[in-house]
A and B are shown apart, each in its own frame.
Chain A
Amino acid sequence: MRHTRTLLAVAAATSLALTACAPGGGGDDAADEDGPIKVGIIADLTGATGDVGTPYAAGEEAYVKWLNENGGIDGREIDATVTDYAYDVPTAERVYKEYVNDGVVAVMGWGTGDSEALKSRVSADELPFMSASYAEPLTDPEEAPYNFVVAPTYSDQARVGLNWIAEDGKSSEVALFHNDSPFGLAPVADAQEWAADLDLNVEPYAMPAGSTNYTGLLSQAKKQGAKYIMIQNVSSPAALVAKDIKAQGLDMQIVCLNWCADELFIDTAGAEAAEGHVLVQPFAPVSAEQPGHDEVNAYLEENGSSLEEEGLHFAQGWYTMHAMAEGIRAAVEEGDLSGAGIKEALETMGAIDTGGVVGAGEIEFSADSHRGSTGTGIYQVEGGEMAPVELGATP
Chain B
Amino acid sequence: MAAISTGVYFRTYQRELALRHTKAQYVRLALVVVAAIAAPYLLDPYQLSILNTVLIAVVGAVGLNILVGFTGQISLGQGGFLAVGAFTSGLLTMRADLPAPLSIACAVVVTAAAGALFGLPALRLKGLYLAIATLASQEIIVFIARRWSFLREESGAPLSIERLKVGGYEITREYFEFQWYWILLGCAVVAVLAARNLFRTGLGRSFMAVRDQDIAAAAIGVNVTRTKVVAFAVSSGFVGLAGALTAHYSETVTWESFTFEISILYLAMIIVGGLGSVAGAVYGAFFITLLPVFLNEFIGGLGEDVPWLVSRLPAIENAVFGLVIIAFLLIEPRGLDRIWQRMKDYVRFWPFRY
Least CB distance from B43 to A in Å reads: 9
* Stretch from A21-29, A63-71, A222-230, A383-391 forming part of the interface with B: A21-29
Q: How far is the CA of A378 from the CA of B254 in the complex (A)?
A: 33
Q: Are B157 and A135 closer than 8 Å at their CB atoms?
A: yes
Q: Map CB proximity to A onto B32-55 as digits: 1 under 8 Å, 0 otherwise.
A: 000001001100111001100100
A90 and B257: CB pair below 8 A? yes
Residues A94 and B293 in contact, CB atoms below 8 Å apart: yes
Shortest beta-carbon distance from B295 to chain A in Å: 12
> 0/1 per residue, B119-163, Cβ < 8 Å to A?
000000000000000000000000000100000010111101101
| Residues in A whose Cβ lies below 8 Å from that of B70 | none
Q: Would you list which residues of chain B between 21 and 80 have a CB under 8 Å from chain A?
A: 37, 40-41, 44-46, 49-50, 53
Interface pair B49/A46, CB less than 8 Å apart? no
Which residues of the other chain, B, contact A45 by a CB distance below 8 angstroms?
311
- Choose one: B50, B155, B182, B293; the contact of A137 (CB below 8 Å): B155
User: Which residues on the A side are within 8 Å of B46 (C-beta)?
Assistant: 26, 97-98, 100-102
Partner of A25, one of B157, B175, B251: B175
A210 to B146, CA, bound (A): 18
Q: How far, in whole Å, are A138 and B156 apart by their CA atoms in the complex?
A: 11
- Give the dominant DSSP class at A's interface: helix
How close is B182's CB to chain A, nearest CB, in angstroms?
6
B197 at the interface (CB under 8 A from A): no
From B9-17, B223-231, B312-320, B327-335, the one touching the partner chain is B312-320
Give the shortest distance, in Å, between A322 (CB) and chain B (any CB).
Answer: 24
Q: Tell me if A329 is interfacial: C-beta within 8 Å of chain B.
A: no
B254 touches A22 (CB 8 A): no
Complex Cα gap A18–B49 (Å): 18
CB distance from B290 to the nearest CB of A (A): 11
Q: Would A22 and B49 be within 8 Å (CB), given that A117-B158, A119-B160, A121-B251 are in contact?
A: no
Assembly CA distance A26 to B18 (angstroms): 42
Residues of A within 8 A of B (CB): 14-15, 18-19, 22-27, 45-47, 84, 86, 88-91, 93-94, 97-98, 100-102, 113-114, 116-121, 124-125, 135-138, 140, 143, 180-182, 185-186, 189
- Number of B positions contacting A (CB below 8 A): 40
State which of B49, B175, B251 has its C-beta within 8 Å of the C-beta of A97: B49
Partner of B256, one of A94, A97, A137, A181: A181
Identify which of A84, A89, A125, A189 contacts B156 (C-beta below 8 A): A189
A182 touches B50 (CB 8 A): no
A119 touches B157 (CB 8 A): yes
Given A23-B41, A137-B157, is A182 in contact with B254 using a C-beta cutoff of 8 Å? yes
Once A18-B37, A25-B173, A25-B176 are accepted as A-B contacts, the answer to whether A116 and B311 lie under 8 Å apart by CB is no
Please list 11 pairs of residues, one from A and one from B, whose beta carbons are closer than 8 Å in the complex, sorted by A's number. A22-B175, A25-B45, A25-B173, A97-B46, A101-B49, A113-B254, A117-B158, A135-B157, A136-B155, A181-B256, A182-B157
CA distance in complex: A45, B158 (Å): 24
Q: A84-B313, A90-B257 are in contact. Are A182 and B158 (CB under 8 A)?
A: yes
Residues B254 and A116 in contact, CB atoms below 8 Å apart: yes
CB <8 Å contact, A117 and B155: no
**Cα A97 to Cα B178 with chains together (Å):** 14
A114 contact set on B, CB distance < 8 A: 256
Q: Is the CB of A18 within 8 A of B45?
A: no
CA distance A326 to B312 in the complex (A): 32
CB-nearest residue of chain B relative to A97? B49
Contact indicator A25/B160 (Cβ below 8 Å): no
Q: How far is the CB of A86 from chain B (nearest CB, A)?
A: 4
Q: 6 extra interchain contacts, Cβ-Cβ under 8 A, other than A25-B175, A182-B254?
A: A100-B45, A100-B46, A117-B256, A136-B155, A137-B155, A143-B153
Query: Which residue in chain B gives the minimum CB-CB distance to A114?
Result: B256
**Chain A residues within an 8 Å CB radius of B176:** 25
A392 to B42, CA, bound (A): 55
CB neighbours (8 Å) of B293 from chain A are 94
Q: What's the nearest-Cβ distance from chain B to residue A208, in Å?
A: 13
Contacts of B250 in A (CB 8 A): 93, 117, 121
Say yes or no: is B179 at the interface (Cβ < 8 Å to chain A). yes
Query: Which of chain B's residues have a CB closer than 8 A to the CB of A120?
Result: 160-161, 251-252
Q: Which chain B residues lie closer than 8 Å to A94 at the CB level?
A: 49-50, 53, 293
Residue B174 interfacial (CB < 8 Å):
yes
Contact (A137, B45) CB under 8 Å given A120-B160, A182-B158: no
